[in-house]
Copies of this chain bind each other. A is one copy, B any other.
Protein backbone atom coordinates (compact mmCIF):
# COMPACT_ATOMS: atom_id res chain seq x y z
CA UNK A 1 0.00 0.00 0.00
CA UNK A 2 1.81 3.06 -1.17
CA UNK A 3 1.15 6.56 0.03
CA UNK A 4 0.87 8.65 -3.07
CA UNK A 5 -2.08 10.87 -3.71
CA UNK A 6 -3.41 8.35 -6.16
CA UNK A 7 -3.42 5.71 -3.46
CA UNK A 8 -5.24 8.06 -1.18
CA UNK A 9 -7.91 8.66 -3.76
CA UNK A 10 -8.19 4.93 -4.33
CA UNK A 11 -8.62 4.29 -0.63
CA UNK A 12 -11.20 7.02 -0.43
CA UNK A 13 -13.18 5.34 -3.15
CA UNK A 14 -12.82 1.94 -1.55
CA UNK A 15 -14.25 3.28 1.69
CA UNK A 16 -17.15 5.00 -0.02
CA UNK A 17 -17.87 1.91 -2.05
CA UNK A 18 -17.89 -0.34 0.98
CA UNK A 19 -20.10 2.13 2.79
CA UNK A 20 -22.51 2.31 -0.12
CA UNK A 21 -22.93 -1.44 0.07
CA UNK A 22 -23.20 -1.76 3.85
CA UNK A 23 -25.59 1.14 4.15
CA UNK A 24 -27.95 -0.42 1.68
CA UNK A 25 -27.64 -3.69 3.54
CA UNK A 26 -28.02 -2.62 7.12
CA UNK A 27 -29.08 0.98 7.03
CA UNK A 28 -27.39 4.28 7.73
CA UNK A 29 -27.16 3.67 11.46
CA UNK A 30 -26.50 -0.01 11.05
CA UNK A 31 -22.82 0.35 10.37
CA UNK A 32 -20.05 1.96 12.37
CA UNK A 33 -16.99 3.74 11.14
CA UNK A 34 -14.76 0.95 12.43
CA UNK A 35 -16.73 -1.62 10.50
CA UNK A 36 -16.71 0.44 7.36
CA UNK A 37 -12.97 0.94 7.46
CA UNK A 38 -12.39 -2.71 8.16
CA UNK A 39 -14.47 -3.54 5.10
CA UNK A 40 -12.19 -1.29 3.09
CA UNK A 41 -9.17 -3.13 4.44
CA UNK A 42 -8.06 -0.29 6.73
CA UNK A 43 -8.24 0.56 10.40
CA UNK A 44 -10.46 3.32 11.57
CA UNK A 45 -7.59 5.57 12.57
CA UNK A 46 -7.13 7.29 9.26
CA UNK A 47 -10.80 7.89 8.71
CA UNK A 48 -10.65 11.61 9.27
CA UNK A 49 -7.97 12.02 6.65
CA UNK A 50 -10.69 11.22 4.19
CA UNK A 51 -13.85 12.63 5.68
CA UNK A 52 -14.58 15.50 7.99
CA UNK A 53 -17.22 13.45 9.77
CA UNK A 54 -19.25 10.33 9.53
CA UNK A 55 -22.06 12.35 7.99
CA UNK A 56 -19.84 13.34 5.14
CA UNK A 57 -19.12 9.73 4.35
CA UNK A 58 -22.80 8.92 4.57
CA UNK A 59 -23.55 11.67 2.09
CA UNK A 60 -20.97 10.43 -0.37
CA UNK A 61 -21.94 6.83 0.12
CA UNK A 62 -25.63 7.47 -0.41
CA UNK A 63 -24.83 9.37 -3.58
CA UNK A 64 -22.77 6.49 -4.85
CA UNK A 65 -25.38 3.96 -3.82
CA UNK A 66 -28.10 5.83 -5.69
CA UNK A 67 -26.02 6.16 -8.81
CA UNK A 68 -24.73 2.64 -8.62
CA UNK A 69 -28.13 1.14 -7.93
CA UNK A 70 -29.75 2.81 -10.88
CA UNK A 71 -27.32 1.42 -13.39
CA UNK A 72 -29.45 -1.64 -13.83
CA UNK A 73 -32.49 0.38 -14.69
CA UNK A 74 -30.58 2.64 -17.02
CA UNK A 75 -28.92 -0.12 -18.91
CA UNK A 76 -32.28 -1.84 -19.23
CA UNK A 77 -33.68 1.39 -20.57
CA UNK A 78 -31.10 1.38 -23.34
CA UNK A 79 -32.84 -1.49 -25.01
CA UNK A 80 -35.77 0.81 -25.55
CA UNK A 81 -39.52 0.45 -25.84
CA UNK A 82 -41.70 -2.19 -24.30
CA UNK A 83 -38.77 -4.46 -23.73
CA UNK A 84 -37.03 -1.90 -21.58
CA UNK A 85 -39.98 -1.42 -19.28
CA UNK A 86 -40.46 -5.13 -18.82
CA UNK A 87 -36.75 -5.55 -18.12
CA UNK A 88 -36.94 -2.95 -15.38
CA UNK A 89 -40.00 -4.43 -13.75
CA UNK A 90 -38.63 -7.94 -13.87
CA UNK A 91 -35.22 -6.88 -12.66
CA UNK A 92 -36.58 -4.83 -9.82
CA UNK A 93 -39.03 -7.45 -8.64
CA UNK A 94 -36.55 -10.29 -8.87
CA UNK A 95 -35.14 -12.61 -6.26
CA UNK A 96 -31.64 -11.44 -7.07
CA UNK A 97 -32.55 -7.87 -6.36
CA UNK A 98 -34.43 -8.85 -3.24
CA UNK A 99 -31.53 -10.88 -1.93
CA UNK A 100 -28.82 -8.36 -2.70
CA UNK A 101 -29.79 -4.97 -1.44
CA UNK A 102 -26.12 -4.12 -1.10
CA UNK A 103 -25.80 -3.85 -4.86
CA UNK A 104 -29.41 -3.04 -5.58
CA UNK A 105 -31.46 0.09 -5.85
CA UNK A 106 -30.82 2.55 -3.05
CA UNK A 107 -34.25 4.08 -3.46
CA UNK A 108 -35.69 0.79 -2.29
CA UNK A 109 -33.05 0.29 0.39
CA UNK A 110 -33.30 3.60 2.22
CA UNK A 111 -36.81 5.04 2.10
CA UNK A 112 -37.23 5.25 5.86
CA UNK A 113 -33.67 6.03 6.88
CA UNK A 114 -33.23 8.80 4.38
CA UNK A 115 -35.56 11.02 6.38
CA UNK A 116 -33.00 11.21 9.17
CA UNK A 117 -29.95 11.36 6.92
CA UNK A 118 -27.92 14.48 6.08
CA UNK A 119 -29.82 16.97 3.95
CA UNK A 120 -27.59 16.52 0.95
CA UNK A 121 -28.17 12.81 0.97
CA UNK A 122 -31.89 13.31 1.07
CA UNK A 123 -31.71 15.75 -1.81
CA UNK A 124 -29.79 13.20 -3.84
CA UNK A 125 -32.41 10.62 -3.04
CA UNK A 126 -35.15 12.95 -4.16
CA UNK A 127 -33.49 13.72 -7.46
CA UNK A 128 -33.01 10.03 -8.04
CA UNK A 129 -36.75 9.58 -7.64
CA UNK A 130 -37.22 12.28 -10.25
CA UNK A 131 -34.88 10.46 -12.57
CA UNK A 132 -36.78 7.22 -12.17
CA UNK A 133 -40.06 8.91 -12.87
CA UNK A 134 -38.67 10.56 -15.96
CA UNK A 135 -37.29 7.30 -17.19
CA UNK A 136 -40.51 5.46 -16.59
CA UNK A 137 -42.43 8.27 -18.26
CA UNK A 138 -40.33 7.95 -21.38
CA UNK A 139 -40.88 4.24 -21.45
CA UNK A 140 -44.65 4.57 -21.31
CA UNK A 141 -45.23 7.26 -23.90
CA UNK A 142 -48.80 6.34 -24.75
CA UNK A 143 -49.99 5.65 -21.22
CA UNK A 144 -51.52 7.99 -18.70
CA UNK A 145 -48.73 10.05 -17.11
CA UNK A 146 -49.86 8.76 -13.71
CA UNK A 147 -48.75 5.33 -14.76
CA UNK A 148 -45.07 6.00 -14.08
CA UNK A 149 -45.90 6.90 -10.48
CA UNK A 150 -47.81 3.72 -10.00
CA UNK A 151 -45.05 1.60 -11.44
CA UNK A 152 -42.40 3.18 -9.27
CA UNK A 153 -44.48 2.89 -6.11
CA UNK A 154 -45.30 -0.70 -6.88
CA UNK A 155 -41.81 -1.94 -7.66
CA UNK A 156 -40.34 -0.17 -4.64
CA UNK A 157 -43.09 -1.38 -2.34
CA UNK A 158 -42.96 -4.84 -3.84
CA UNK A 159 -39.31 -5.49 -3.30
CA UNK A 160 -39.43 -3.94 0.16
CA UNK A 161 -42.25 -6.18 1.27
CA UNK A 162 -40.54 -9.18 -0.28
CA UNK A 163 -37.47 -8.40 1.82
CA UNK A 164 -39.44 -7.74 4.95
CA UNK A 165 -41.53 -10.89 5.28
CA UNK A 166 -39.98 -14.03 6.66
CA UNK A 167 -41.90 -16.60 4.65
CA UNK A 168 -40.11 -17.53 1.42
CA UNK A 169 -43.34 -18.45 -0.30
CA UNK A 170 -45.03 -15.20 0.49
CA UNK A 171 -41.92 -13.31 -0.46
CA UNK A 172 -41.84 -14.93 -3.86
CA UNK A 173 -45.53 -14.28 -4.42
CA UNK A 174 -45.06 -10.62 -3.61
CA UNK A 175 -42.43 -10.34 -6.29
CA UNK A 176 -44.09 -12.45 -8.93
CA UNK A 177 -47.66 -11.37 -8.61
CA UNK A 178 -46.87 -7.69 -8.37
CA UNK A 179 -44.70 -8.02 -11.44
CA UNK A 180 -47.34 -9.98 -13.30
CA UNK A 181 -50.03 -7.45 -12.49
CA UNK A 182 -47.82 -4.66 -13.71
CA UNK A 183 -46.95 -6.48 -16.87
CA UNK A 184 -50.58 -7.24 -17.42
CA UNK A 185 -51.31 -3.55 -17.87
CA UNK A 186 -49.13 -3.19 -20.92
Contact = CB atoms under 8 A, between A and B. Distances in A.
Interface of A: 26-27, 29-30, 107, 109-116, 119, 122-123, 125-126, 129-130, 144-147, 149-150, 152-158, 160-161, 163-167, 170, 173-174, 177-178, 180-182, 184-185
B115 A112 contact: no
Contacts of A166: 119, 122-123, 125-126
B129 A150 contact: no
Contact of A154 (B27, B153, B165, B167): B153
B146 A184 contact: yes
Contacts of A111: 111-112, 160-161, 163-164
26 contacts: A26-B116, A27-B116, A29-B29, A107-B161, A110-B164, A111-B161, A111-B164, A112-B112, A114-B164, A123-B166, A126-B165, A126-B166, A129-B165, A129-B174, A144-B184, A145-B177, A146-B177, A146-B181, A146-B184, A149-B173, A149-B181, A152-B157, A152-B161, A153-B157, A156-B160, A160-B160
Given A112-B112, A114-B164, A153-B154, 4 more contacts: A29-B30, A111-B160, A126-B167, A149-B158
